Amino acid sequence: MEIKSKNLRELDQICSDIRNRIIDVVSRNGGHFSSTLGAVELTVAMHKVFDVKKDPFIYDVSHQCYPHKLINDRWDSFETVRQFDGVSGFTKPKESKADYFVAGHSSTSISLAVGAAKAISLKGEDRVPVVMIGDGSMTAGMVYEALNELGDRKYPVVIILNDNEMSIAKPIGAISKYLSKILAGKFYQGFRDTIDKNIVQKLPEGATYIAKKMEESMKLITPGIIFEEMGVDYIGPIDGHNMEEIIDTLDIAKNLGKPVIVHAKTVKGKGYQIAEGHHEHWHGVGPFDLQTGEFKKKSAGKSATAIFADALLDLAKKHENVVGVTAAMPSGTGIDKLMKEFPERFWDVAIAEQHAVTSMAAMAKEGFKPYITIYSTFLQRGFDQIIHDVCLMDLPVVFTIDRAGIVGNDGETHQGAFDISFLRFIPNMILMAPRDEKTLIEAINFTHSLTSPCALRYPRGSFAELPFEATPYELGRAELLKEGKSKKLFIGYGAGVSRAVATEKLHKEDIAVLDLRFVKPLDKELLTKLSKKYNEWYVFSDSQKQGGVGSAILEFLNEEQICVKMTSFEYGDDFIQHGDTKKIEESLGLLPKQLVDRVK
């Protein structure tokens, strides 16, 4: 889509067309919604001022990248956004050269921009990295690590702070607004540079101090003091929906030749009135009715997240030492329910997984029982803290891992494939997974008695209903759900148990089914016993094969010199694409009807 040659009226029309396209497709397919609608004018202005063919366009998280995709050769294919084999919901260089980097996790953009700026400087090229980052992403420490270096090195980088939910610092009435406009103007920027180069640097020491203090006093009544103090220029706040104002400001920022933050105030859901404002449930949506805004109902049962939240709430009512934390996902993890009931015991620490883990380690040392509830994909961000601050101290912290396994439409950056592999090798860590609703409740209650670190994983959506009673948990004890007449044994872990049961039902042979319950420690006694009766083992688990459940069992078999034939139906050595979960499973050969043939 041609943007460079368009005038303001034409650009406004393009924004309207982009919004209508997003609203139409997302209402039918689902996807990220309110954040991407709020970023339309900012995105169009970026393409007007900068050159996407040479300037790195870096979107933080990139859930606001739909306008960028529509501008860059995906108008027709956008119909397939987040669908299997369709357009990704995040930036993806394999789709288009206009997508600079894969993104899906928060707060990486400024670090990427610093790296790009260093490379551009070394190559002597005329290119300017431009970042779009949301105010929520500014809660993560990685942002300030990057800003710290950027402010010191002074590489030319333009950072657009898309403030669509809360102010970084509240502007002070009309005076602040007036001064912000002055600060955005060429006169002030030129005046400040002139004063610095021609006056301040040549004045006696006492006069220099006074001049600097005058400049600092101006910053104090603007919202950008935190950035200015880090050495990054600040412009704003500006109206993020006023095309002329955005273009003028970005032109100034681009030509400054140094790092600058442009603070733009936007409205989430802009253009679809029902979604406008601070409505969290409009961030990422399923299909909905355009006229009423009502979401199309799903027939699925109670989600694992909701079951977990209710079970932990009951546990917190019984035990006053139960505390908990999440990292910017209170409603997504169900912790919002506990925060409402016990606001002094459950916290959202924003996008700060490292801080979440280490702060709860200290609480465990003080005698509390912390539950850290984070999506599998985001727990990766706290990996060092899990090792250094929890497991090394052998503290009784419980990691309740939501969205374990395939999560569907969010794709490669969000699939919960790796938690077993990266947690299993850490000393003192206990790994367990329930198979259904009843065992999840039993598992939550069991974790309270543990005196070592523990990780408990459960899937997105609802569990399959299984015809087995939930027996109490014992550390390192598996449960044989069904004896078999054949020589085959199906070993299920977590949600993999239901796949094992479904596959067994379709198979002509009578096959034994084991719920492993724990992958660390393994039930070596029962596995040794079962090896004498069953010599063909098949592992069912929603996890990566390398370092996963099958690996743990193979290590045990090798140590004990037990000879059985074992096959693992875990995920292969690849990142799993986005799309409908069943279509993904079919592509991986993991549907029960496919597994029957693989067993045969």
Q: Which residues are catalytic?
A: 268, 353, 381
Amino acid in the structure at residue 426: I
Q: How far apart are CA 533 and CA 535, in angstroms?
A: 7
Element (H, E) at 498: helix 496-506
**Burial bucket for residue 182 (CB in 10 Å: 0-12, 13-18, 19+):** middle
Given a contact cutoff of 8 angstroms between Cβ atoms, the answer to whether 337 and 313 are in contact is yes
Q: How far apart are CA 56 and CA 396, in angstroms?
A: 45
Q: Give the list of residues 6+ apart from residue 199 with CB closer than 8 angstroms, or none.
A: 211
Strand-strand pairing, 565-568 and 536-541: parallel
Residue 91 three-state SS: coil
Calculate the alpha carbon distances from 322 to 66, 216, 337, 342, 397 in Å. 41, 46, 14, 10, 10
Task: Measure the CA angle with vertex 502, ends 498 and 505; round to 5°.
Answer: 140
Q: How far apart are CA 423 and CA 374, in angstroms?
A: 14
Q: How far apart are CA 203 and CA 78, in angstroms?
A: 59
Copy the structure tokens of residue 287: 């299909």
Q: How far apart are CA 380 and CA 104, in angstroms?
A: 13
Given a contact cutoff of 8 angstroms between Cβ atoms, the answer to whether 139 and 356 are in contact is no
